Structure 1
């Protein structure tokens, strides 16, 4: 066990360059049926047995990531450095090894050399590779050709002395640990890296990975009930329905969308609508439930899932649902980016039985099926 080194995996980014033509964040690409961030963390931990492994996560991802593992998951920030600063609050070792979740092809020959290195007299140890192509800097149309023998590409993981790193990152924004420590005046030492350690940055970079398609289907079920109330508009399936009463709820009361959100969250094991949008949170007071559905759908796509189909059963004695079903389908198609033939909405009365039959409220059940993008 490397008791004096804590491992931090950086996984809080939004993958904006990667997501130009796809909705999934790169750290959620599955490798061996694990999201990339977990796959990388497990590879490191199985080989080097760190005393602690910390993984940074975005605000929206953090609760979901905690369902996957026992590693310490901490909320990141708006930049890599801010995420690192948050993670360092949980580090109590002398050194920290920081690596990117997207650097998922690990070269253990390089890493073994890195973690066997004597760290006594240095502040930061980094793997680097040279460049083989001619290189120049261009400014105002002028090209300044550089000696490529003096150019080095810095990779991760980087091992840094924690106290030095903490002081160094107070001095500005830096793209990595070595640049911060070098600016601070600390001693940075490099070893030979490897092209295998290339980071996944763009969608085309996935060609570097050995990804096999996962054909599993994920099923979710949602159920919700709301009672009628006066002095409120009626919304069902995103449609405002002419009615003399509405549905009692902290939000707009759209029981159809609430049921669908629960089904979607259930399919990926991400909790329920009450956890996501607490009824005691004032920012959700009378909120349009279509906004909630959009947030859930965006999250589901970002962590690697696509919706295959949805099937909804609305149980209501009143109001009549049939005149509004097509409009509901169109709304869901637009929000979920799902073709209309894969959206089915059914409606039934309860033959005047029970609270629905007595026209006291509406009951909705939803089922969905999802698949992984890759």
Structure 2
């Protein structure tokens, strides 16, 4: 799955304009940032989201892009993003956003910027449903009020609320099928209120998952009070640093970043001896203030004899994500006189990106020598250092 998110912030906000002195609701300031930014932060805490498309009113496009650039200083989001102009209707704005998605994007989450209170957990629930094969999935809550059909102030009948659901965003879709639905919608002139409606009319099965009561949409003037009431903590930047060493000798075939290095010296190690992944584990643990790799996977335990360092990294990273952290950048350096590592760096980088679900721009792999000084210079061993930056939610 290669999923991007579209944040819809192209509305005119006419129902709120009097209460906000003409400021469109998506640009209202809350906790020092506009509402649309809070949705972006929540998506950035979802590891499987690979990028963001922001859809703004055409007349606000350049100003909004400049605001985003300032807010994302230092790659705070840790995600690539693009800005596109919206259309006359919500469905037109979504269509413009879909057109801007990269060709390798397979799935998309579409969200209204006026719902800033949703959680990364809801995103993951939607993505799990898409991974399990759903073509369209939306969050929904049971309707608690009695709903009546009224014509000219006269009740005609009462609906069975046991069959009714109140739907929210984000809504998740197979990108190709949703785009086909939008194309049909344009050709046949459909008028819809959300993308699930397009999916329904296009014959795409729409699955529901449990929504969130807190996922409220800012619509009317009285809703503005919610912005004052809710005070979610903004993410805190954190750093971690890792260092590891292995000596050469009869032992394990060399692996670096999970890649076997052919023709390299063997390393003496209890696990598979991947010095780079060990340093990376320590750096991630450092972000959490959670000790070091030796405390979690002691070399005195038979359980970890010749264990893949990729397995150790997966356990550390899973814990990291469950605690609400998100990696933004990883900088890795291998120090060795032998072997020559330049040919292997692209493969190592690609594998690190895969394991951490990061983009090429978020991972850097370097290799150097110590000019024949010290134990690495004497070809007695290899060492690695890792520096990572992350956000703590």
- What does residue range 65-84 of structure 1 map to in structure 2 within 5 Å? 65-70=64-69, 71-84=81-94
* Matching residue of 1:56: 55
* Matching residue of 1:138: 150
The alpha-carbon distance between structure 1 residues 133 and 68, as it changes in their structure 2 partners (threshold 3 A), is: same
Superposed displacement of residue 132, structure 1: 0.9
* Matching residue of 2:191: 173
Superposed displacement of residue 47, structure 1: 3.2
SS class of match (2:55): strand
Distance 2:230 2:161 in 1: 38
Give the alignment's Cα RMSD to 1 decimal. 2.0
Q: Return the TM-score normalized by structure 1.
A: 0.53
Is the Cα–Cα contact under 8 Å of residues 129 and 154 in structure 1 kept in the other structure? yes
* Matching residue of 2:176: 163
The alpha-carbon distance between structure 1 residues 123 and 208, as it changes in their structure 2 partners (threshold 3 A), is: same
The alpha-carbon distance between structure 1 residues 9 and 73, as it changes in their structure 2 partners (threshold 3 A), is: same
The alpha-carbon distance between structure 1 residues 184 and 49, as it changes in their structure 2 partners (threshold 3 A), is: closer
Distance 1:48 1:37 in 2: 19
Distance 1:166 1:111 in 2: 21
Superposed displacement of residue 39, structure 1: 2.0
Superposed displacement of residue 168, structure 1: 1.3
Q: Return the TM-score normalized by structure 2.
A: 0.51
Superposed displacement of residue 120, structure 1: 4.6
Is the Cα–Cα contact under 8 Å of residues 140 and 209 in structure 2 kept in the other structure? yes
Superposed displacement of residue 198, structure 1: 1.2
* Matching residue of 2:202: 184
- Is residue 106 from structure 1 mapped to residue 118 from structure 2 by the alignment? yes
**Runs of 4+ displaced beyond 6 Å:** none
Answer with 163-172 or 116-125: which moved more. 116-125
Equivalenced residue count is: 211
Distance 1:173 1:122 in 2: 24
Distance 1:109 1:193 in 2: 10
The alpha-carbon distance between structure 1 residues 121 and 113, as it changes in their structure 2 partners (threshold 3 A), is: closer
SS class of match (2:17): helix
1:306-362: CA deviations, max 9, x gaps? xxxxxxxxxxxxxxxxxxxxxxxxxxxxxxxxxxxxxxxxxxxxxxxxxxxxxxxxx
The alpha-carbon distance between structure 1 residues 163 and 212, as it changes in their structure 2 partners (threshold 3 A), is: closer
Is the Cα–Cα contact under 8 Å of residues 2 and 48 in structure 2 kept in the other structure? no
Is the Cα–Cα contact under 8 Å of residues 10 and 55 in structure 1 kept in the other structure? yes
* Matching residue of 2:6: 8
Distance 1:48 1:156 in 2: 18
Superposed displacement of residue 52, structure 1: 1.7
Distance 1:4 1:47 in 2: 13
Q: Give structure 1 stretches of 5+ with no counterpart.
A: 214-374
* Matching residue of 1:152: 165
Superposed displacement of residue 64, structure 1: 0.5
* Matching residue of 1:204: 222
Is the Cα–Cα contact under 8 Å of residues 123 and 187 in structure 1 kept in the other structure? yes
Is the Cα–Cα contact under 8 Å of residues 108 and 173 in structure 2 kept in the other structure? yes
- What does residue range 273-312 of structure 1 map to in structure 2 within 5 Å? none
Distance 2:119 2:164 in 1: 21
